[in-house]
Each structure stands twice: as C-alpha cells, then as structure tokens.
Amino acid sequence: MFNQKHIVMKNLTFEQLPEAVTQLYDKLSSIESILIEKSTFTQSEVDQLLTVQQAAEFLNLSVPTIYGYVQKQEIPVCKRSKRLYFSKQQLTEWIKSGRKKTVAEIEAEAEKYLSNHKKRANNG
C-alpha cells in the first residue's frame, strides 16, 4: 500500500518530520476507511428488512409456507398496511430457537433436575 520507505519514529529528525506526518496521515486514513466499511456492513446486516419473497429465499421456504406461518403467528413479522416485512436478525433468532437439544444436553438437564429434587426431599 505504501511505496515509501518507513521512517523509524524513535530517532526522528526535523527533516524527516513532513514524511513521517504523511505516513501517519495515510495510515489513519486507511484505518478510518476500514472502520467505516465495517460499521456500514454491521448496521445494514442488523437492520435489514426483508419482503415476503426475500424472507422465503433467506429461509429456503416457499412464499405460501411463509404466509402460513404468518397466519398461525409462528414467525416474527411486521405489518405495515397490507405489506409484510421480516427482520433478518429476528428470522435468524427464530431459526435458532427451534434448535433441538442433544441427548447429552437432555441427560444433563435430567440429572440436574433430579439432584435438585433429591436435595429438597432430604431437606424437607
């Protein structure tokens, strides 16, 4: 990115100062553009609203299936007049909420439940 030689900032002479300032400015500009790009990407990803067709594509479902979920109130949706909008973030959370527990997770919960009830029975 920089074709200039890099100046060692420790032993900087007065004559090297303009070039050092230029290098610092270039580096700061580069960092600023990276931060702006990252901020824009993150914000657009979080706040993105999808139409019914886009939601169907995102979830890999058919449009009639999406309408069925909306009618049964099984999917998070925003309605403005006759239009439906879906938050990409909420759809992702909705998908994750349907995660099935593993056998090991179920067994661990059962053991915890039983050990808590044994303690209560012994204390009560």
The whole-number pLDDT of residue 14 equals 82
Query: What sign for the dihedral angle of Cα 15, 17, 22, 26?
Result: positive
The whole-number pLDDT of residue 50 equals 95
Q: Which two tokens stand for residue 120?
A: 């209560």
Indicate if 42 and 82 belong to the same structural domain: no
Q: Are 86 and 96 in contact (CB under 8 A)?
A: no
Residue 37: give the domain boundaries: 14-46
Domain assignment present for 67: yes
The whole-number pLDDT of residue 8 equals 61
The whole-number pLDDT of residue 100 equals 85
What is the mean pLDDT, run by run of 10 residues, along the chain of 124 residues? 56 84 88 81 69 96 96 93 92 89 90 82 67
Indicate if 29 and 53 belong to the same structural domain: no
The whole-number pLDDT of residue 20 equals 85
Domain assignment present for 76: yes
